[in-house]
Amino acid sequence: MTLIRADLDSLPAYVPGRAVPGSIKLASNEVPLPPPPAVLAAIAEAAAGANRYPDLAVSALTDRLAKELDVAPERIAVGCGSVSLCQQLVQITCRETSDEVVFAWRSFEAYPIVTQIGAATARTVPLTPDFRHDLDAMAAAVNPATRLILLCSPNNPTGTAITRDELERFLAAVGPDVLVALDEAYFEYVTDPDVPDGLTLLDAHPNLVVLRTFSKAYRLAGLRVGYAVGAPEVTQALRKVCSPFSVSSVAQAGAIAALDNAAELLASCAEVMSERVRVRDALLAAGFTVPPTQANFVWLALGERSNAFAAHCLDRKVVVRPFSPDGVRVTVSSPEENDALLAAATSFAG
CATH of the domain at 231: 3.40.640.10
SS3 category, 278: helix
Final residue belonging to a domain, choices 221, 236, 262: 262
Q: Do the domain assignments include residue 3?
A: no
- Distant-in-sequence, close-in-space partners of 156: CB < 8 Å, separation ≥ 6: 29, 107, 108, 185, 186, 295, 297, 329
- Under the banding of pLDDT at 50, 70 and 90, the label for residue 154 is very high
Same domain, 165 and 284: no
d(CA 251, CA 156): 24
What pLDDT shows up at residue 105? 98
Same domain, 250 and 275: no
Determine contact, residues 311/302, Cβ cutoff 8 Å. Answer: no
Same domain, 132 and 235: yes
Q: Do the domain assignments include residue 7?
A: no
Total number of domains in the chain: 2
Same domain, 100 and 137: yes
What pLDDT shows up at residue 99? 97
With a cut of 70, say whether residue 187 has pLDDT above it.
yes
Q: Do the domain assignments include residue 105?
A: yes
Residue type at 279 in one-letter notation: V
What pLDDT shows up at residue 350? 57
Greater pLDDT, 245 or 19: 245
Same domain, 100 and 58: yes
Same domain, 245 and 99: yes
Final residue belonging to a domain, choices 193, 228, 262: 262
Same domain, 155 and 75: yes
Determine contact, residues 149/115, Cβ cutoff 8 Å. Answer: no
Q: Do the domain assignments include residue 136?
A: yes
Q: What is the CATH number of the domain that holds 311?
A: 3.90.1150.10
Same domain, 204 and 279: no
Q: Do the domain assignments include residue 338?
A: yes
Interval 18-37: pLDDT, tens: 778 889 999 999 999 999 99
Same domain, 233 and 318: no
- Residue length, the chain? 350
Domain span at 336: 16-33+268-346
What is the percent of the chain where pLDDT is above 90? 93
d(CA 67, CA 47): 25
Q: Do the domain assignments include residue 230?
A: yes
Same domain, 138 and 207: yes
Task: Centre a 10 Å sphere on the Cβ of residue 152 and count the other Cβ atoms it contains.
Answer: 28
Same domain, 245 and 288: no
> 249-260 vs 37-47: helix axis angle to the nearest 10?
160
d(CA 25, CA 295): 17
Query: Rounded to the nearest 5°, which phi and psi values hold at 220?
Result: -120, 35
Same domain, 204 and 342: no
